[in-house]
Every structure is written in C-alpha cells, then in structure tokens.
Amino acid sequence: MKARITYRLPNELEVHSYQGMLRDGLIKGAFVFSEFSGEKCWSIVQETESNSELKLPKRQKFFEANRSEYEASLKNIIERIKNTDELEKVVFSRNIQEARGSKTVVQLFEQLSSNRPSAFVYLLESEQHGIWLGASPEVLIHGEGKSFKTYSLAGTRPSTDSNWTAKEIREQELVTEYMSHILKDYDPSLNVGKVTERLAGNVKHLLTEMDFQLESDQLENLIHELHPTPAVCGLDKTLALEIIQEMEGYERNLYAGFIGPYQVGGSTSLFVNLRCAQLDDERITLFVGGGVTAESIPSSEWEETELKSQSIRSLLD
C-alpha cells in the first residue's frame, strides 16, 4: 500500500511532502505514525518522484456521543477514580462529525498551517488509513545525536485565562512524574524545567520541558515505553486503557498516537496526534478529549472538548 504525507514542523516555513510505500514498524529515515496504543505503527518510505493516484478506503462510521451521554460517562469514570486507589486519571475522548464543506484537503492543510504556526501540522493520505489532518501542540520526543527533549503537556484553559485550578495543576504533575520516572532510567542526570504555559490556538496548556541524553539504539524502546503518556491515556495506564476501550464507544485509530519524521538526517521530531480529524468526500470527524480526575466536573470537561474542537472546526465553511 501507498501513502502521501505533507507536513510542516513547528515555527518553520518549509513544507515537506512526498509519497511512498507504507511499511509496518519504525524505519529510520522515514515519516512514521502509530495508532493510539502504540502497538501498531507504520513508516512511509519515500519513493523516487512518484505521485501516482492513491486508492483511499471507504469512510469508517463512528459512534458520536451527545452531551448527555458524554457527561453520564464522565460521571461514571469520576466515581471509578474515587473508588479505585490505583486509578488517578483517565483521558476520555469523543468524536464530532461535521459536513466537510467545499475546501480541498490541501486548502484545509494550508489554512491550518497558517492559523497554527507553532504547531506540528500534517496531512496524511493513506490507502490503509484514509485521510487525516492535524495540528498538534504536543511533542513526544525531539532531538538529534544524543541530545533529546520531551514535554509534559496537560491541563487546558481558554487562551485568555491563566486561572489554573488545582485539578489542572495536578493533572499536569501526573504526566511530569510519569515521564521523568521513565526518563531517569535512561539518563539519571535528566533536567526537568519549571512549569510554564504553552499557547495552542484558542487554548493554553501547562508545560514542563525535560532535556536528556540518549544513545541512538535506545530511541525506539523509549518511544514505546513513554507512549501513550498520561496526557492521552491516564494513570494507572492499564486501568485507564481498559476504561477507554470499554466506555468510549469507538476506536481512536490514529488519534492520540504518535506521528512525525523519525531519524531523518539524524533528527527525530515525533508529536502526539492531537487536534486532528479524519476526512472523506462528505464528512470530517474531529477527535477531542480531556483528562478526568476525581475533581473533574462533567460540564466543564464537555466545554473543554468544545474549545479544543475549534482548531479544525474553524476551518470549515
């Protein structure tokens, strides 16, 4: 099978685009992406100036929860967190289906890239996975040689509001604790920065940067150990995964997986596939979610997903 990828790295002007064969696994020098769990991943191996027509699959149907259904599920999850010592957080998501409008996928990519200069913006056209579009604010791992960095990103407020709640602060701390615990096994001298804010379109998040040293032969293992982080799954990871699979009512597929260039020219820039959507000729399916803890308020969690959906919803006619 074949796939075509078009992408722009954060705060850069150059757009990269090529078509190639779709291969299983992580291949050095390729553009890679994974499903949510990270168990399945693929590489697009570049061909020599080939741009043949792609045979895209038919649209997949998704269950779309309305507000009352979503909030009822959130109440259930909150009670389970309160009653389970090992369970601190579950990232619960939903999909939103809209009419696509008249814009081509290239026009949508260009507009998204213009609107979100600090995001990783991509357009994936795959004979196996269909068409995906996204603008991720979240780095999973970035670096070259032996020097790498990652970010603990969680908690969401409107872009004009810095009144962070205890729930949002703790939600981000959980991600930092999880990631730093893993990273210290690879580099005991891991440098963990201070908590800052990261603007992402109409919302902002809490962010902690972590810098570390890593041997090149350790990179793939670290990717699979880190992902999925509590920013997109939860803690305890196993329990959170079980609840996600039981209650979301649809398959996340590539949503909240990782995506980006892998050891291309010695550099790796992998991102978490957030603020993304799957497209066909008529419909666009957006994927949005949020971290649920014992302090969560269901109505606020719904509003958070509405805010996040505007990254791509705002592009539509």
What is the pLDDT confidence band of residue 317, given thresholds at 50, 70 and 90? low
pLDDT number for residue 164? 96
Treating both helix axes as pointing N-terminal to C-terminal, what angle do 219-226 and 166-186 enclose, rounded to 10 degrees? 150
Conformational region of residue 249, where left means phi above 0, alpha means psi within -120 to 50, and beta covers everything else: left
Neighbours of 55 (CB within 10 A): 8
Neighbours of 163 (CB within 10 A): 7
State percent of the chain over pLDDT 70.
Answer: 97
What is the pLDDT confidence band of residue 55, given thresholds at 50, 70 and 90? confident
What is the pLDDT confidence band of residue 281, given thresholds at 50, 70 and 90? confident
Neighbours of 168 (CB within 10 A): 20
Q: How far is CA 301 from the centre of its chain?
A: 18
Task: Give me the long-range contacts of 180-188 (CB less than 8 A, separation at least 24).
Answer: 180/152, 180/210, 182/222, 182/225, 182/226, 183/150, 183/210, 183/212, 183/222, 186/212, 186/214, 186/218, 186/222, 187/212, 187/213, 187/214
Amino acid at 121: V
pLDDT number for residue 108? 94
Higher pLDDT, 61 or 83: 83
pLDDT digits (tens, 9 = 90+) for 134-168: 999 999 999 999 999 999 999 999 999 999 999 99
Parse the chain into domains and list their residue ranges. 2-49+62-313
Q: Architecture of 2-49+62-313 per CATH?
A: 4-Layer Sandwich (3.60)
pLDDT digits (tens, 9 = 90+) for 283-310: 999 999 999 999 999 999 999 999 999 9
Determine if the pTM surpasses 0.85.
Answer: yes
Tokens of 195: 């908590």
CA 183-185-191 angle, to 5 degrees, is 45
Mean pLDDT for the chain overall: 93
What is the pLDDT confidence band of residue 260, given thresholds at 50, 70 and 90? very high
pLDDT number for residue 201? 87
Evaluate if residue 54 carries a pLDDT over 80. no
